[in-house]
Amino acid sequence: MLLGIKDRKTLFRRHGIMVLFSLALVGLFWLSRGQWVPEMRLWRAVGDAGFVLLAMALSIGPLARLWLPARRWVAWRRELGIWFALLALGHGVLILSGWVGWSWRRFLGYEFVPQLGRWARLEPGFGLANLLGLAGLIWALVLMATSSDWAVRKLGIASWKWLQTGAYIIFYLVALHAVYFLFIHYTVSFHRPVPDPNWFRYPMAAIGLAVIGLQGAAYAQVVRRRQAAETSSVEVQKAILIGRRQIARGTYEMTFSVKSPLHFLAGQHTQVRVLKLLYPDPQGASRVFSIASSPTDKTRFSIAWRDTGSGYKRTLLELPIKTEVLVDRPGGQFILPDDIGRPVLMVAGGIGITPIMSMVRWAAEKKLPQVMVLLYANSSRERAAYLEELQELAGTNKHFSLRNQYQPIDGKVLAGLSKPYKNPIWYVVGPPGMVDSVRLLLSEAGAGEPDIIIENFDGYDG
Ligand SMILES: Cc1cc2nc3c(=O)[nH]c(=O)nc-3n(C[C@H](O)[C@H](O)[C@H](O)COP(=O)(O)OP(=O)(O)OC[C@H]3O[C@@H](n4cnc5c(N)ncnc54)[C@H](O)[C@@H]3O)c2cc1C
Determine which residue's CA is closest to atom 14 belonging to ligand 1: 457
Residue 150 pLDDT: 78
CB of 269 closer than 6 angstroms to any ligand 1 atom: yes
| DSSP category for residue 319 | P
Residue 193 pLDDT: 55
Residue 354 pLDDT: 98
Identify which of 247, 349, 257 has the alpha carbon closest to the alpha carbon of residue 307. 247
Over pLDDT 70: what percentage of the chain?
A: 94
Could you tell me which residues come within 8 angstroms of residue 202 by beta carbon, excluding any fewer than 6 positions away? none
- Across 87-101, 193-207, 288-302, 304-318, least confident range: 193-207
Furthest CA-CA distance within the chain: 104
Q: Sheet holding 425-430: strands in order across?
A: 400-405, 372-377, 344-349, 425-430, 452-456
How many angstroms separate the alpha carbon of residue 266 from the centre of ligand 1? 21
CB of 283 closer than 6 angstroms to any ligand 1 atom: yes
Residue 158 pLDDT: 73
Closest ligand 1 atom number to CA of residue 455 = 1
φ and ψ of 438, to 5 deg: -70, -40
Task: Assign 6 a pLDDT band (cuts: 50, 70, 90).
Answer: very low
CB of 459 closer than 6 angstroms to any ligand 1 atom: yes
Task: Assign 232 a pLDDT band (cuts: 50, 70, 90).
Answer: low
What DSSP line would sit under 389-435, residue for residue? Answer: HHHHHHHH-TTEEEEEE-S---HHHHHHHHTT-SS-EEEEEESHHHH
Determine which residue's CA is closest to atom 46 belonging to ligand 1: 308
Pocket residue to mutate for ligand 1, from 281, 310, 327, 456, most atoms within 8 A of Cβ: 310
φ and ψ of 297, to 5 deg: -95, 110
What DSSP line would sit under 151-189, residue for residue? Answer: HHHHH-HHHHHHHHTHHHHHHHHHHHHHHIIIIIITTS-
Determine which residue's CA is closest to atom 17 belonging to ligand 1: 288
Residue 229 pLDDT: 61
Residue 10 pLDDT: 78
C-beta separation of 280 from 225 below 8 A: no
How many angstroms separate the alpha carbon of residue 460 from the centre of ligand 1? 4
Residue 68 pLDDT: 75
Identify which of 293, 284, 292, 301 has the alpha carbon closest to the alpha carbon of residue 233. 301
Name the pTM for this structure. 0.68
Identify which of 52, 54, 45 has the alpha carbon closest to the alpha carbon of residue 94. 45
Q: How far apart are CA 339 and CA 158, in angstroms?
A: 13
pLDDT at residue 5 greater than cutoff 70: no
**Digit-coded pLDDT (tens) for 298-351:** 999 999 999 999 999 999 999 999 999 999 999 999 999 877 778 999 999 999
CB of 458 closer than 6 angstroms to any ligand 1 atom: yes
Bridging pattern class, strands 269-274 and 324-328: antiparallel
Task: Assign 2 a pLDDT band (cuts: 50, 70, 90).
Answer: very low
> Higher-confidence residue: 352 or 33?
352
Q: What angle, 0 to 180 degrees and rounded to 10, lies between the N-to-C axes of helices 432-444 and 411-418?
A: 70
Residue 124 pLDDT: 74
Q: How far apart are CA 403 and CA 373, in angstroms?
A: 8
Direct distance between the N- and C-terminal alpha carbons of the chain, in angstroms, rounded to an integer: 43
How many angstroms separate the alpha carbon of residue 283 from the centre of ligand 1? 10
Determine which residue's CA is closest to atom 37 belonging to ligand 1: 310
Average pLDDT in the 230-238 region? 74
Sign for the pseudo-dihedral over CA of 28, 31, 37, 39: positive
pLDDT at residue 4 greater than cutoff 60: no
How many angstroms separate the alpha carbon of residue 336 from the centre of ligand 1? 25
**Digit-coded pLDDT (tens) for 170-189:** 999 999 999 998 888 776 55
Q: pLDDT averaged over the chain? A: 90
CB of 180 closer than 6 angstroms to any ligand 1 atom: no
How many angstroms separate the alpha carbon of residue 459 from the centre of ligand 1? 5
Residue 29 pLDDT: 95
Task: Assign 83 a pLDDT band (cuts: 50, 70, 90).
Answer: very high
